[in-house]
Structure 1
Amino acid sequence: MSITSDAEFTGMQKISECVAQVLKAMREYCKPGINTLELDEFGGRLLSQMGAKSAPKLTYGFPGHTCISVNEVVAHGLPSASMVLQEGDLINIDVSAELDGYWADNGGSFVLGEDKHNHAALVKASKEILESALSQIRGGVKIADIGRLIETQAAKRGYKVIKNLAGHGVGRSLHEEPHDILNCYDRYNTTRFKKNSIVAIETFIATQSTYAQTAEGDKWTLKGNKGGFVAQHEHTIMVTGGLPVILTQANEILD
């Protein structure tokens, strides 16, 4: 969507702050020994208390309030009582929701407790690359150039990107135009960011894989085509003529 009034901006601020606070609270709630179903139900209660509704449930009938992906799972991890979190796990939480007709999306990867499996560098790279990408987004900039920036910075650090997962427009629904804010350069994409538009920008930085594919056993869970691990970070922003307004800044994933 594009912001055309103060009321629309206020609506986007409210839902963005909601998903940001829920993401932050879920991260703080994480501890070794809890399972991802318990964590998801905690997040669902928070959304309900704020008057918000889970976006993946509303849009796709997803069997959870949030997506919680652990270790080798790239995205869309299903909450499960059998997935018990352990010290050193690489965890990604993605929280998106609707409130009063407005939608926002954010996510972040982190290491639970001690970095026993050396995932911290990957997480740091994902956060810093997102921060770099956001600093370059403004009205008139080609979407493909941001993809090139993300891919180039990942390669300089010794990482790859997931090429078939992307950021997207958001605001009046979970996924809107532009649909393909990729983590790689697409020379055929000549679309430019539009001033006052609302978009979700996300990184998918990988150790080995370049594509996500549906895992065996369910229709939701995505894993890498060549194994390894992936870190993701995401903000909902408003594009301006200068630096964007980071609407989900309250989740503090760039700290």
Structure 2
Amino acid sequence: MTIETAEDLSELKKIGRIVAVTLQGMIEKTEPGMTTGELDLVGKSLLESYGARSAPKITYNFPGYTCISINEEAAHGIPGDRVIQPGDVVNIDVSAEKNGYFADTGGTFVVPPGNFIKDKLIASTQLALTEACHVARADRPLNEIGKSIQKVARQTGFRIIQNLCSHGVGRSLHEEPGEIPGYYVPGDRRILHEGLVITIEPFLSTKSRIVSEGSDGWTLTGEPGNLSAQFEHTMVITKGKPILLTVV
């Protein structure tokens, strides 16, 4: 969507903060021995306390309130009986709707103890998001987002998961400008415009460039031994720095 009124921005800031607080609350509650299903209920409770609804559930009938992916799982992990272990790389993706407005956020962390490669992967993915936000400005090419992510991946020695993309958001969970690749596509001539609402969500990994759908019909997994990280903000494009909506 494109921001048209002050109410649009106000409502997007509200739902953006709700998903950000929910993500932070879930991270803080994560501990070894709990299941991903139990962690998902923490997210459910937080969303409901703010009067928000799980976007993947109402949009796609996803069998959970949030997406929780661990280790070899890159995205869309279904919460369930999997027990969280020390050293696990955990990704939580929270998206929700309130008053007809949607926001989407995500983050990755290691359940202690971490190690050098896990910590570097997470720090590098955070850096990729920061760098992509720096180039996301009105009247600039949309493909500069992927170019900046690709630069960080090359500098840090990680791969980009190419079939997971950023996207438009606002009045629905996924909308125009459609897929925004996390790598440089020279032939993509799209231009960012003022007021456009998008996500940026780089996915960096240790081995895989492509992830595959599992037998559950949802979970996207890399090759054996692969680890990946994702960080995501919903934002409004301006002529200067984007307005980050998914902040606490």
- Give the TM-score, by structure 1 length: 0.95
CA drift at 1:142? 1.0
In 1, the alpha carbon distance for the partners of 2:109 and 2:150 equals: 21
| Corresponding pairs, count | 248
AA matched with 2:147: R
AA matched with 1:235: H
Q: How big is each residue's C-alpha offset from its partner over 1:127-153, in whole Å with a ceiling of 9 and x where there is no partner?
A: 011111101110011111211111121
Q: Secondary structure of 1:121's partner?
A: helix
Q: How big is each residue's C-alpha offset from its partner over 1:70-101, in whole Å with a ceiling of 9 and x where there is no partner?
A: 000010001012x1111111000000000000
**What does residue range 122-133 of structure 1 map to in structure 2 within 5 Å?**
122-133=121-132
Q: Structure 1 pair 44/87, CA: closer, same or farther in 2 (3 Å)?
A: same
Q: Is the 8 A contact 2:136 2:144 kept in 1?
A: no
In 2, the alpha carbon distance for the partners of 1:152 and 1:49 equals: 40
Residue aligning to 1:230: 228
* Regions of 4+ moved over 4 Å: none
Q: Secondary structure of 1:119's partner?
A: helix
Q: Is the 8 A contact 2:74 2:221 kept in 1?
A: yes
Residue aligning to 2:26: 26
Q: Secondary structure of 1:131's partner?
A: helix
What RMSD over aligned residues (CA atoms) do the two structures have, in Å?
Answer: 1.2
Residue aligning to 1:180: 179
In 1, the alpha carbon distance for the partners of 2:148 and 2:116 equals: 28
CA drift at 1:60? 0.5
CA drift at 1:187? 2.1
AA matched with 2:104: D
AA matched with 2:42: F
In 2, the alpha carbon distance for the partners of 1:112 and 1:141 equals: 38
1:46 maps to 2:46: yes
In 2, the alpha carbon distance for the partners of 1:227 and 1:189 equals: 33
Q: Secondary structure of 1:178's partner?
A: strand
Q: How big is each residue's C-alpha offset from its partner over 1:138-193, in whole Å with a ceiling of 9 and x where there is no partner?
A: 00111112111111210111111011110011000000111121111112211111
CA drift at 1:225? 4.7
Structure 2, unmatched stretches of 5+, are none
In 2, the alpha carbon distance for the partners of 1:5 and 1:145 equals: 27
Q: Secondary structure of 1:249's partner?
A: coil
In 1, the alpha carbon distance for the partners of 2:147 and 2:49 equals: 40
Q: Secondary structure of 1:91's partner?
A: strand
In 2, the alpha carbon distance for the partners of 1:132 and 1:187 equals: 18
1:77 maps to 2:77: yes
Residue aligning to 2:166: 167
Residue aligning to 2:237: 239
Structure 1, unmatched stretches of 5+, are 251-255
**What does residue range 50-129 of structure 1 map to in structure 2 within 5 Å?**
50-81=50-81, 83-116=82-115, 118-129=117-128
In 2, the alpha carbon distance for the partners of 1:168 and 1:227 equals: 28
- Give the TM-score, by structure 2 length: 0.97
AA matched with 1:151: Q
